[in-house]
């Protein structure tokens, strides 16, 4: 979950590296560092803390040169500190390496290297990899062609685990080598310059052309260009892709935080998710990227959705959507569990993997496990060049634009919207009439406007957030479509405010959770006027009888909820199956304004990073 930026060109590397790290800070912000090569040798600078600490140190001790690597860290092995920060150097001090991933056999490699006379100064697995590559480099004759590339390849053949790396060496001052396995690495192609980064957002200001490296790819860059080779094949093919967004898309604009910007971008994100995908003529959804014809889709008896975190919550909502509209049984599963447990799956099961980044390690592992067992796997992701997008059999892109805030917002609502499209598609193939399909289309098309109505209540929601910001714990309740929304609302509150929060099916209150109810524990109740409205009202009464404060999300004009709740956030009238998209917006705002009231670092919450590319 770390960020890598590397540069080789004609410009000074330091300012480009620092700017790239700032754009990747959402991937890790425990510590950062950079190494630059010039005529005077290899120079390394690293600091614990945020990027500004490194930038301040670089003002005092600037690193000059046009070849450099840099890194922002989310700690896995070793606590955040200067000595554990990347880059790490080898035994000679001539090689520097930055690394995202986990070297699983680092302990045995380290033990062997120590017996050979190596001394280590950090607690990281990365330093072991730097020493290992340096050791192979030293054993090659000085006149060996592509010496650094060969050393990297030799070392990686000994490595077990995941990596995205960038490596430079003082004895090859015009060469930059990168490699990936299980951790993303992108080659940015500029005019007379090249970049390596773990995310294209770091280089989009300088180029709109990129090569998304595959697992086991090695890229070697010099002043004349680049070449891509492979650890497992004689030759490695590659495709130069256009980056599908621009620098302005990844800026905060007029908003104080990325999270707030992305919350307010949701009307447009939903419009992007449905654009060109609704056929009024056929009363259905058009999702050609599934790469399945009507006969194959009709042959599906069961669907499995596997994901992590927010994406799994979207899948839980999707389960209700597909089962109720298309009447296909759906199961949701933690990707981290699916990849390791022996899960019996019917042979006519279609697997969906869901990930905003398309690089989530556990979800990618679940994809590979399902494909290994012979199942067709479709992806729902936001990154066209991601590993999940490339390795799945088909899928649906969200087209939500870059999401920089660590707490997912527009990706959740986009994923839920895509599940609504899938439910419509499957439903029209089975039980829905054309008129029913048209009605669903009309309601889905209302979503951007309805979301705008919720966003107009932001000041009201801010006042409610300020009222409850000192709470030590909060409970979230929802039923049917709203259960996944309750889980997601609680997750948002935990992530950015550090207030303990849990989501539950509302009817579970009596089965143990009611013990937590007291006057200091607010309950957030998602209770639109739907088929279980009366049941929800009874549960709210049980909480009020025990003096528990109620924050209710209720349909406009619902006087029964208004009469009993302490605070009400109004939801526009809408049918059940699109309400989860609408009801999630106030919960995002509630957590955001609570975090602001508590002076939390909204976009960079403690211990979290945006893209979970390690187990």
Find the DSSP H helices in 35-145. Answer: 51-60, 106-115, 125-139
C-alpha distances (whole Å) from 151 to each of 6, 36, 110, 414 are 19, 20, 17, 44
d(CA 259, CA 592): 8
Contact 491, 309 (CB under 8 A): yes
d(CA 434, CA 50): 56
Type and span of the H or E element at 436: helix 434-445
Two tokens at 182?
């299980």
**Which residues have a catalytic role annotated?**
2, 610
Two tokens at 363?
């979800």
C-alpha distances (whole Å) from 113 to each of 96, 98, 184, 353 are 17, 19, 28, 40
d(CA 18, CA 53): 11
Two tokens at 531?
């088929």
Contact 18, 51 (CB under 8 A): yes
Indicate the burial class of 202 (C-beta count within 10 angstroms; 0-12, 13-18, 19 or more): buried
Two tokens at 22?
């700032």
Two tokens at 185?
């690495």
* Secondary structure in 3-state letters for 554-609: EECCCHHHHCCCCEEEEECCCCHHHHHHHHHHHHHHHHHHHHHHCCCCCCCCCCCC
d(CA 86, CA 126): 8
d(CA 85, CA 47): 7
Q: Residue 55: which residues within 8 A CB-CB, separation 6 or more?
A: 18
- Angle, vertex CA 194, rays to CA 125 and CA 138, nearest 5: 45
Cis peptide upstream of residue 533 (ω within 30 degrees of 0): no
**In the block, residue with structure tokens 């990154």:** 383
Contact 530, 579 (CB under 8 A): yes
Two tokens at 252?
């905060």
d(CA 491, CA 498): 10
- Angle, vertex CA 519, rays to CA 518 and CA 520, nearest 5: 90
**In the block, residue with structure tokens 């979290």:** 608
Return the sign of the alpha-carbon dihedral for residues 479, 485, 486, 488.
Answer: positive
């Amino acid at each position: 979950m770390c960020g890598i930026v590397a540069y080789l060109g004609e410009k000074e590397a330091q300012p480009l590296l620092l700017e790239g790290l700032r754009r990747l800070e959402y991937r890790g912000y425990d510590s950062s560092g950079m190494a630059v090569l010039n005529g005077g040798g290899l120079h390394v600078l690293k600091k614990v803390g945020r990027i500004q600490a490194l930038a301040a140190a670089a003002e005092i001790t600037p690193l000059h040169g046009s070849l450099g690597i840099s890194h922002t860290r989310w700690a896995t092995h070793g606590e955040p500190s200067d000595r554990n920060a990347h880059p790490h150097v080898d035994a000679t001090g001539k090689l520097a390496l930055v690394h995202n991933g986990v070297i699983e056999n680092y302990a045995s490699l380290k033990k062997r290297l120590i017996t050979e006379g190596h001394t280590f100064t950090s607690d990281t697995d990365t330093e072991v990899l730097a020493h290992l590559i340096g050791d192979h480099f030293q054993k090659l004759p000085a006149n060996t062609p592509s010496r650094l590339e060969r050393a990297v390849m030799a070392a990686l053949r000994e490595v077990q685990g995941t990596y995205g790396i960038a490596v430079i060496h003082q004895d090859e001052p015009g060469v930059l080598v990168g490699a990936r396995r299980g951790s993303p690495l992108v080659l940015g192609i500029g005019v007379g310059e090249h970049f390596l980064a773990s995310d294209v957002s770091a280089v989009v200001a300088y180029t709109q052309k990129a090569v998304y490296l595959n697992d086991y790819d090695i890229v070697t860059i010099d002043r004349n260009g680049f070449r891509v080779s492979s650890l497992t094949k004689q030759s490695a093919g590659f495709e130069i892709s256009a980056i599908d967004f621009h620098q302005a898309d990844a800026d905060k604009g007029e908003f104080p935080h990325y999270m707030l910007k992305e919350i307010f971008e949701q009307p447009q994100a939903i419009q992007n998710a449905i654009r060109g995908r609704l056929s009024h003529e056929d009363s259905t959804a058009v999702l050609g990227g599934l790469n399945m014809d009507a006969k194959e889709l009709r042959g599906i008896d069961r669907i499995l959705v596997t994901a992590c975190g927010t994406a799994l919550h979207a899948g839980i909502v999707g389960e209700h959507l597909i089962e109720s509209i298309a009447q296909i049984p759906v199961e949701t599963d933690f990707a981290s569990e699916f990849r390791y447990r022996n899960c019996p799956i019917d042979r006519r099961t279609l697997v969906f993997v869901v990930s905003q980044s398309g690089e989530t390690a556990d979800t990618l592992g679940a994809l590979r496990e399902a494909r290994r067992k012979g199942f067709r796997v479709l992806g729902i992701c936001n990154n066209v060049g991601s590993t999940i997008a490339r390795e799945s059999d088909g899928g649906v892109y969200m087209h939500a634009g870059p999401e920089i805030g660590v707490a997912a917002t527009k990706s959740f609502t986009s994923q839920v919207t895509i599940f609504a499209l899938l439910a419509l598609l499957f439903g029209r193939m089975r039980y829905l009439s054309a008129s029913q399909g048209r009605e669903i289309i009309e309601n889905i098309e209302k979503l951007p406007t309805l979301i705008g109505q919720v966003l107009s209540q932001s000041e009201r929601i801010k006042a409610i957030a300020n009222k409850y910001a000192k709470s030590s714990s909060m409970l979230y309740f929802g039923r049917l479509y709203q259960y996944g929304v309750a889980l997601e609302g609680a997750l948002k509150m935990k992530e950015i405010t550090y207030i303990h929060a849990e989501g539950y099916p509302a009817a579970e209150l009596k089965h143990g959770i009611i013990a937590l109810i007291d006057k200091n524990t607010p309950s957030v109740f998602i209770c639109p006027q739907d088929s279980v409205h009366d049941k929800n009202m009874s549960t709210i009464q049980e909480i009020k009888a025990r003096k528990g404060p109620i924050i209710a999300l209720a349909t406009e004009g619902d006087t029964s909820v208004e009469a009993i709740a302490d605070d009400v956030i109004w939801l526009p009238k809408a049918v059940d199956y699109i309400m989860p998209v609408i009801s999630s917006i106030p919960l995002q705002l509630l957590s955001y304004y609570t975090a602001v009231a508590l002076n939390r670092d909204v976009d960079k919450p403690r211990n979290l990073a945006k893209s979970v590319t390690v187990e």
